[in-house]
Structure 1
Amino acid sequence: MTAPLDVSGAEYEAAPEAVLDASQAKAIQGRSLGQIAWMRLKRDKVALTGAGVVIFLILVAVFAPLIVGWIGHPPTDFNQDLISSETMAPKDGTGIGWDHLFGVEPVNGRDIFSRIVYGARISLLIAFLATLLSVVIGTVLGVTAGYVGGWVDSVISKAMDVFLAFPILVFAIALAGIVPDSAFGLSGDALRVSLLVFIIGFFNWPYIGRIMRGQTLSLREREFVDAARSLGARGPYIIFREMLPNLVAPILVYSTLLIPSNILFEAALSFLGVGVRPPTPTWGGMLSDAVRFYTIPHFMFFPGMAIFITVLAFNLLGDGLRDALDPRAR
């Protein structure tokens, strides 16, 4: 047998080796929904690539004057010395070189690179503002219809059906064609941009409105909503403080998918000649001008690729956000 240890008169503390000192122990922390979504998004390299392209395009649009002043030429300046007087095309076929990275336009010789950079400002500005308008109107009306129900839901739902059946493109062409050069205290590009934002944003709200209504119909039966009602919370408080935070994920995902649609819509209007008027550069307007010079492919290629890359980047980012914010995803 082993004799017991004599610990009399001495301070002795026995602790299991598996138990760490409180200063060394690491507290277990939970992860928020935002942290979980970010971890999922970081694993999606395609979505991150799309996000990187989107950020790059935004920076290009914001710093367009600096970029053009550094490696380009003013977008409205003519360079007739680069244009053949016989064919009205660039003398070397494209005009591409160190001075003109994407070449020059036929007839007037304007720098294509500079016009694409400045065109990003118009396209992204209209797309973002129109999406914001659609999201605000659609979210407020959709949540209100889903939560209140009854005749309010019936009226808002019928309004959605009317707007969804409305020929937006025809209306946009008609409205943009009859608005004068100066109206509502605005003129020039400011008036045209405001008009396009109103047309695109106001008539696209039912798409997100239907999504918000369906989500609200599901959320209003949840326990946390019943708990808020039992504590005496009124309708506006429940909508904006309890339900709206749970709708951030679908709002964010649908917004990233709505922005490219608005970019294409603005390009279509500019292509038809009812968007922002020349000489202000827009991607759709450049494509419209390029149709007359189909034998000069670079004139159409670069603005077309700008639209394609922008729309693709936003779609990839939207798909990645949808997967990352889906609580059922693993």
Structure 2
Amino acid sequence: MTAPLDVPGSDFEATPEAVLAGQGDIKAIQGRSLGQIAWMRLKRDKVALAGGLVVIFLILVAIFAPLIAGAFGQDPTQFNSDLIDPTTLVPKGGTGIGADHLFGVEPVNGRDIFSRVVYGARISLLIAFLATLLSVVIGTLLGVTAGYFGGIVDSIISKAMDVFLAFPILVFAIALAGVVPDSAFGLTGDTLRVSLLIFIIGFFSWPYIGRIIRGQTLSLREREFVDAARSLGARGPYIIFREMLPNLIAPILIYATLLIPTNVIFEASLSFLGVGVRPPTPTWGGMLADAVRFYTVPHFLFFPGMAIFITVLAFNLFGDGLRDALDPKAR
């Protein structure tokens, strides 16, 4: 087969090799993995990228909280009574904001708000991440088991989900946190309170992701690759862990990023109600509870409230962008 030369009035023809040689170096077409396609989509979503950068920033703040607070020479539990007006018990000048106290100081005791907000990120994010991990692990295992095996197994797990979904988690958390002593299960102090909150939030939140994974598994178990694995003699555990779970990574990641901000708010709510981590350990919810009594000092309420707002908004924006990037039907 030959290709005619693009010369008007010419009868000469050129071979395909000559035509290709005139095009210079032609790069081979390279395929892209699903991860590369998802990253390409995510990069186009500037709002989701901004949310992801804020999430990374918050994580770094939580990890390096002692260094950040130490750089400004502030201890979150240190009292600064000299900055408090003894008559009104509010900071001198109204807020106490200055070079040494970027967010001002608290009324009554004069503790630095900046360092307490920074340290509060450690408690909130630690509880939110570990509680999310616990609920994702339990929900994924039970959801994929119910969806794959069906029958009596699906019926029992589904009924358990209904019971947990109908359970008043907030009331139970308040009751349980109120009766647990200062020392239990070999744990004491903040370690006990943090572990208790992780258990309460994580253990009673698994049905939400469990239902999602069960529904996804019901559709996956009818796919060709699952039938092929069965025809080769693969057993249930192998199919679940080697065939189905890799195809469930996307919904698991998406739901986890959307569950973390919910757990941040839940932890803040428990601390606000006085059943979270106990003072003087700083938490965002505890700071809001203290600030309610001083409605004439708005900066005391503003900074921990904005910390919760920014954290929840960043995770939600990043989770929405991740959902769109991992959606196989997206373009």
TM-score, length basis structure 1: 0.94
8 Å contact from structure 1 (residues 72, 114) kept in 2 = no
Please list, as runs of the form range in 1=range in 2, the aligned pairs for 1:46-61 lying within 5 A after superposition: 46-61=47-62
User: Which residue identity is paired with 1:40?
Assistant: R
Is the aligned partner of 1:132 residue 2:133?
Answer: yes
Q: Give me the whole-angstrom Cα distance separating, in 2, the residues matched to 1:224 and 1:79.
A: 66
Q: Give me the whole-angstrom Cα distance separating, in 1, the residues matched to 2:129 and 2:18.
A: 59
Is the aligned partner of 1:272 residue 2:273?
Answer: yes
Encode CA deviations 1:160-199: one digit per residue, 9 max, x unaligned: 0000000000000000000000000000000000000000
Deviation of the 1:26 alpha carbon: 2.4
User: Which residue identity is paired with 1:17?
Assistant: A
Residue 250 (structure 1) aligns with: 251
Residue 4 (structure 1) aligns with: none
Q: Give me the whole-angstrom Cα distance separating, in 2, the residues matched to 1:171 and 1:72.
A: 40
Q: CA RMSD in A?
A: 1.5
Q: Give me the whole-angstrom Cα distance separating, in 1, the residues matched to 2:58 and 2:130.
A: 16
8 Å contact from structure 1 (residues 40, 324) kept in 2 = yes
Q: Give me the whole-angstrom Cα distance separating, in 2, the residues matched to 1:115 and 1:171.
A: 28
Q: Give me the whole-angstrom Cα distance separating, in 2, the residues matched to 1:97 and 1:18.
A: 73
Residue 10 (structure 1) aligns with: none
Q: Give me the whole-angstrom Cα distance separating, in 2, the residues matched to 1:289 and 1:94.
A: 15
Q: Give me the whole-angstrom Cα distance separating, in 2, the residues matched to 1:49 and 1:88.
A: 40
Residue 7 (structure 1) aligns with: none
Q: Give me the whole-angstrom Cα distance separating, in 2, the residues matched to 1:120 and 1:69.
A: 15
Please list, as runs of the form range in 1=range in 2, the aligned pairs for 1:177-256 lying within 5 A after superposition: 177-256=178-257
8 Å contact from structure 1 (residues 74, 114) kept in 2 = yes
* SS across alignment from 1:89: coil
8 Å contact from structure 1 (residues 72, 113) kept in 2 = no
Q: Give me the whole-angstrom Cα distance separating, in 2, the residues matched to 1:257 and 1:277.
A: 27
Residue 9 (structure 2) aligns with: none
Encode CA deviations 1:265-307: one digit per residue, 9 max, x unaligned: 0000000000000000000000000001011000000000000
* SS across alignment from 1:274: coil
Deviation of the 1:18 alpha carbon: 3.1
8 Å contact from structure 1 (residues 72, 111) kept in 2 = no
Q: Give me the whole-angstrom Cα distance separating, in 2, the residues matched to 1:286 and 1:230.
A: 60
Q: Give me the whole-angstrom Cα distance separating, in 1, the residues matched to 2:17 and 2:302.
A: 73
* SS across alignment from 1:180: coil
Residue 9 (structure 1) aligns with: none
Deviation of the 1:24 alpha carbon: 4.5
8 Å contact from structure 1 (residues 135, 255) kept in 2 = yes
Q: Give me the whole-angstrom Cα distance separating, in 2, the residues matched to 1:235 and 1:197.
A: 31
Deviation of the 1:53 alpha carbon: 0.3
Deviation of the 1:27 alpha carbon: 2.2
8 Å contact from structure 1 (residues 101, 113) kept in 2 = yes
Residue 3 (structure 1) aligns with: none
Deviation of the 1:28 alpha carbon: 1.7
8 Å contact from structure 1 (residues 61, 118) kept in 2 = yes
Residue 74 (structure 1) aligns with: 75
Q: Give me the whole-angstrom Cα distance separating, in 1, the residues matched to 2:145 and 2:31.
A: 33
User: Which residue identity is paired with 1:138?
Assistant: G
Q: Give me the whole-angstrom Cα distance separating, in 2, the residues matched to 1:91 and 1:17.
A: 85
Deviation of the 1:17 alpha carbon: 2.7
Deviation of the 1:20 alpha carbon: 4.9
Q: Percent identity?
A: 84
Residue 304 (structure 2) aligns with: 303
Residue 93 (structure 2) aligns with: 92
* SS across alignment from 2:274: coil
User: Which residue identity is paired with 1:248?
Assistant: I
Encode CA deviations 1:76-111: one digit per residue, 9 max, x unaligned: 000000000000000110000110000000000000
Encode CA deviations 1:235-272: one digit per residue, 9 max, x unaligned: 01100000100000000000000000000000000000
Is the aligned partner of 1:150 residue 2:155?
Answer: no
TM-score, length basis structure 2: 0.94
Is the aligned partner of 1:318 residue 2:319?
Answer: yes
Encode CA deviations 1:134-164: one digit per residue, 9 max, x unaligned: 0000000000000000000000000000000
Deviation of the 1:231 alpha carbon: 0.6
* SS across alignment from 1:75: coil
Q: Give me the whole-angstrom Cα distance separating, in 2, the residues matched to 1:15 and 1:137.
A: 61
Deviation of the 1:71 alpha carbon: 2.0
Q: Give me the whole-angstrom Cα distance separating, in 1, the residues matched to 2:259 and 2:317.
A: 12
Q: Identify unmatched segments of 5+ residues in structure 1.
A: 1-13
Count residues with an aligned counterpart: 318
Q: Give me the whole-angstrom Cα distance separating, in 1, the residues matched to 2:198 and 2:37.
A: 35
Q: Give me the whole-angstrom Cα distance separating, in 2, the residues matched to 1:166 and 1:125.
A: 24
User: Which residue identity is paired with 1:170?
Assistant: V
8 Å contact from structure 1 (residues 141, 156) kept in 2 = yes
Q: Give me the whole-angstrom Cα distance separating, in 1, the residues matched to 2:17 and 2:49.
A: 47
Residue 4 (structure 2) aligns with: none
User: Which residue identity is paired with 2:322?
Assistant: L
Residue 11 (structure 2) aligns with: none
